[in-house]
Amino acid sequence: MVLSQYKVLKSFKLFVTPSRNMHLLKKEGYIDGKWVKANNNAVFSVLNPADDSVIAEIPDMNDTDAKNAIEAASKSFQTWKDTTAKERSYILRNWFNLCEKHSGDLAEIITAECGKPLVEAKSEIVYGNSFLEWFADTARHINGEIIPSPWPNKQILLTRQPLGVVSVITPWNFPFAMITRKVGALMAAGCTCVIKPSEDTPLSALAAVSLAEQAGVPKGVINVITSSRKNVNTVGKVLCEHEKVGCISFTGSTVVGKILYSMAATGIKRVALELGGNAPFIVFPSADIEHALDQAMLAKFRNNGQACIGANRFLIHEDVFDKFVNGFKARITQKCVLGPGTKEGVTCGPLVNNAHVKKVADFVNDAISKGAKVLVGGKVAKNLGDNFYESTLLVNVKPDMKLYNEEIFGPVAACLKFKTEEEVLKIANSTRSGLASYVFTKDLGQSFRMSRNLDFGMVAINDGIMSAAEPAFGGIKESGIGREGSKHGAEEYTDIKYTLMSGLDK
């Protein structure tokens, strides 16, 4: 289940004195190249989900701070947009190099505020850094077009130009990688931004931006405002509706995405939305079952199930259902080690907060009350703390259960049987979500049919991990608009300008 091995820190003492042990820990927002407090000096606490201890108190910014940050980004855009692609590439490469150098420091902060095991946090840094490296190269390849003209004396030019200030609103589950994936792309295109990180995990964003500052990112190009849940609505409104914002880039739940989309509509603003999923994990009789089980562990229990592309419904052909379920149960029992992220050997940390624990528990309890059977787990691990939920495997799952229809976003695997390819396509596509999907088969024709017929933006054949900087990441239906990563990720932050050159015969 573990992607790579690292030396894991063994003590919570790391987070008792964070100023000494986490030197990238920042306790202020970042506006116009300055580390600042909230305009009213308000603060809120960032908690360690493993034990709910306070890591730091940081500014609880409001709509006034948001407006100041947008003004700074707008002013900086006037010069940043005219920097050469080569210069933007150079700065992004510097930022990448510094993040590589400080990967251990960044990982410690992620584990402290997000809860994921340090091994996984370091894997996130590798993943997040890959976007800075990719967009450093992509900056020099955002090209236009020359189109054959229907007129003999005219030439048609299409050029890509940066669209302006981008409001970047990021989630808590990948607090570093979601910053680099968005900000690397928009900077490569020549845009500036205001980042609003999750109130649960703002410290990773602040640490990343402190390294961006050291890398030579000009003041005002990147700004970070931090706020508690109390101010989320007012800050979000400013970030979506301010006249100087050209685009809203958001990763999070579909419910919140719809709210932001409606706000953006008042100004006809561009949106880049990466929203929730309900990913099917489909196993056919021809599949290599042992390989499918290994990949199922990755697809389900990466970040303890708190991933938008995490497998939600395990659809297993009846001929191999028992074999798969028995193997899955054995792997979960052996490999899902629950505990604080700093403890050696732990593979599954706490969920991000107690509200999320209650949501996952409600999904499982609802399923049990309607006939689902628990094979492993199924309850809060109270011996570890209030935010730990056991890795869970359910069978006898039916369509009237919440976890059948909604994204679980936790360490709960729900298994269902199917008989035919037609039946499983109907089940898989019976959702308004359309982000990721997984198929396991050795039948080449079946692989292509499933790729064509699954109503999802991404299809992984015989693999449980699909995220990287190179492919275009994104969903269809209610799972989002636009793509991240690849050259398309940078092009999301550009407008196409049509220039007609006439009079060439004069």
Of 274, 484, 491, 492, the active-site residue reads 274
Tokens of 71: 């003004």
The string of DSSP codes covering 357-416 is HHHHHHHHHHHHHTT-EEEE--SB-TTT-TT-B--EEEES--TTSHHHHS---SSEEEEE
- Asked if 283 contacts 443 with a C-beta cutoff of 8 angstroms, the reply is no
The DSSP call for residue 28 is S
CA angle 491, 494, 496 (to 5 degrees): 105
- Per-residue CA distances from 490 to 23, 77, 264 (Å): 32, 16, 20
Q: How many CB atoms lie under 10 A from the CB of residue 289?
A: 18
Q: How far, in Å, CA of 133 to CA of 89, rounded? A: 9
Q: How many CB atoms lie under 10 A from the CB of residue 8?
A: 17
Whether residue 421 lies in the annotated active site: no
- Asked if 176 contacts 125 with a C-beta cutoff of 8 angstroms, the reply is yes
Q: Which residues of 102-130 are buried (b: 16+ CB within 10 A; e: fewer)?
A: bbebbbbbbbbbbbbbbbbbbbbbebbbb
- Asked if 235 contacts 224 with a C-beta cutoff of 8 angstroms, the reply is no
Q: How far, in Å, CA of 241 to CA of 244, rounded? A: 9
Q: How far, in Å, CA of 119 to CA of 126, rounded? A: 11
Query: How many residues comprise the chain?
Result: 506
CA angle 465, 466, 467 (to 5 degrees): 105
Side by side, the strands of the sheet bearing 373-376 are 373-376, 392-395, 412-418, 311-317, 279-283, 436-440, 458-461
Positions marked catalytic: 274
